[in-house]
Amino acid sequence: MTFAAISDALEDVRRGKPLIVAEGEAGEADLCVAAELVTAETVNFMATHGRGLVSLSLTAERMRELGIPLMVPDAPAGKRRPFGASIEAREGVTTGISARDRATTIQVTVRDDAGPEDLVMPGHVFPIQIRTGGVLVRAALAEASADLARLAGLKPAAALCAILRDDGTLAQLDDLEALAQLFELKIVRISDLVAYRLRTESLVHRVAEARIEALAGGKFRVVAYRSDVDPDEHMALVKGKLRPSDKVPVRIHSQCLTGDVFGSERCDCGDQLKKAMEMIDSIGKGVIVYMDQEGRGIGLANKIRAYALQDRGRDTVEANLELGFKDDGRDYGIAAQILRDLGIERVRLITNNPKKIDGLKAYGIDVVDRLPIEIPPHPGNIRYLRTKQQKLGHLLSGFQPLT
């Protein structure tokens, strides 16, 4: 399949023509149209040839301005589906479900002078609240649709509709290609949109730099980072002079207070951090990106709650799921931005986790090699390591999986 260049696709966005936006070689693909250019004809086209739910991507700021609440505002972050309450234009519609009525509702949401009084709830248009930072923070279809509208010089809002086959299953690549050829539509990938934005934008900022002498790995240059999209603070430990052409040894390490600081034997995090610093020291250059993503993204308090469930027999994955989170809620967009800020484009990733490789690649980092970082198991973490191997796909060779 031939995917369109983002710069070419933006021309269609400006003209109000639908695009096919694909998650990648597999997964969902949506028909997308900039919200302020939506017409009854485009809504009808999406409903007829997409067949999925016609939704509307909106920023959190716009949702607040219009008084649109999230459907489940108190859901755990890892499980939260950011759908707002369904909406309808207060005036200019009949039953609300026709293509014309839905187009009118979408047009009202992006009108400069619109406010809560211009909408009623529930309705027949389903808003999706996008993350600040778009695909550089969450590489998903709703964020991609709004990013494309913004990059085209329009308001960051878009109508989108999942593309289904005639039998109701998700469309595959051959289906997308046939649809594109039939209606002369361009197809773009989220990964290409990410790469496009990474060439021109950055969400991370250096806030401080210093040098430290670490117990493991010796001397490092420490760079503290903040981003435009959350209050978290991250850190990069840099050793040696790095050039853009280098294949840089890199460890993306998520904060683990219990393991990194207190030496908890429930996990191998502290031992992995120490070993990664020693590996980089022996090589003579490299980077540790230390991310504020405690407990695979669920936070410190929830991690302790997960520990309590593990004490009652759950494994780490079961505990996270029971608390309402994903098995691994981490995202690597900010880590990729930090690497790019440091001038790093090609990495030898120190990890046992294939999802971490895929996560960085999704944000345009070239992972040229994987450096294993295995810690000998002990009675305190053997079940934890087996769970990582069997349920999370970690590449561990120190012991055989249970059958």
Give catalytic residues, as residue numbers: 328, 330
Q: Looking at the chain, how many residues does it have?
A: 403
CA atoms of 382 and 392, how far apart (whole Å): 15
Using the 8-state DSSP alphabet, how is residue 136 labeled?
Answer: G
Nearest to 355, CA basis, from 227, 224, 208, 254: 254
Tokens for 112, please give them: 């400069």
- Report the Cα 221 to chain-centroid distance in Å: 28
Tokens 């017409």: give the residue.
39
Secondary-structure breakdown of the chain: helix, strand, coil percentages, each rounded to the nearest 5: 35, 25, 40
Contact 186, 12 (CB under 8 A): yes
Residue 214: beta bridge partners? 218
CA atoms of 46 and 19, how far apart (whole Å): 10
Using the 8-state DSSP alphabet, how is residue 35 labeled?
Answer: G
CA atoms of 370 and 336, how far apart (whole Å): 16
Q: Give the end-to-end CA distance of the chain in Å, rounded to a whole number.
A: 40
DSSP 307-319: HHHHHTT--HHHH
> Virtual CA dihedral for 105, 110, 116, 119, nearest 10 degrees?
0
CA atoms of 190 and 172, how far apart (whole Å): 16
